Amino acid sequence: MKKFFIVPSILSANFSNLGDEIKNVIKYGADLIHFDVMDNNYVPNLTFGPVVLKSLKKSGIKFDTDVHLMTNTVDTLIPVFAKEKVKFITFHPESSIHIDKTISLIKSFGCKAGLAINPSTSLNCLEYTINRLDLILIMSVNPGFGKQKFLTYVLKKIEKVRNLIDKNNLNIILEVDGGIKKDNISDLLKAGANSFVIGSEIFCSRSYKNIISEIREIIDKYFI
């Protein structure tokens, strides 16, 4: 059985209580914390940068970080985030002048490299990069804001990427981000995803413990 990841996106968290928000979702079974970095340039929104992550780490909270760079300056940001010992750094092909060099830069710091693909972005960018990737992130909404509706046509793209991974016998995490809820987890599993970035469905729920348990149960039942 593949390893499946529940990855809360703190874009939907309560920023005034961010440390405790992260502690709680980790306590109740989250596998990674998704850190959405937006520069109000590549996407029309501005979120947080390495200083926030450094502060959280310095406070003593222990968690693995899945950094998603939605910025136009990925090569300058990568070293700064890598110093915080993050697990994954993922970038968009449109934001790199030289994709292969950016992947090499991420790996030079001992981090795992991911490539993020927007709903309308061609999969051609994977042709010469997939053998070097640790994670492929399929965006199921257009990046920039939380609480968007899942774009169902992206399911076909997930299937294509899963087939590509399996055809080449690669150990790559296939992650999906955007509009993920309990109601569509099964569709994503069927399409071949094994990592789920979930924002409002978790952070807007009454009980982090209950919602994460319910999501985990859906995943487990799928393979009975």
Query: What is the C-alpha to C-alpha distance for residues 163 and 67, in angstroms, rounded to an integer?
Result: 25
Residue 36: active-site member: yes
Give the start-end residues of each E strand in the chain: 5-8, 33-38, 65-70, 88-91, 112-117, 135-139, 173-177, 195-198
Catalytic residue (choose from 31, 66, 177, 220): 177
Residue 31: active-site member: no
Catalytic residue (choose from 31, 36, 39, 134): 36
Amino acid at 86: V
Q: Collect all residues with Cβ–Cβ distance below 8 Å to 78 and sequence separation of at least 6.
A: 69, 89, 91, 102, 105, 106, 109
- ∠ CA 25-68-53 to the nearest 5 degrees? 60
- Which of 26, 116, 135 is CA-nearest to residue 10? 26
Tokens standing for 6? 């529940």
Which residues are identified as catalytic?
A: 36, 177
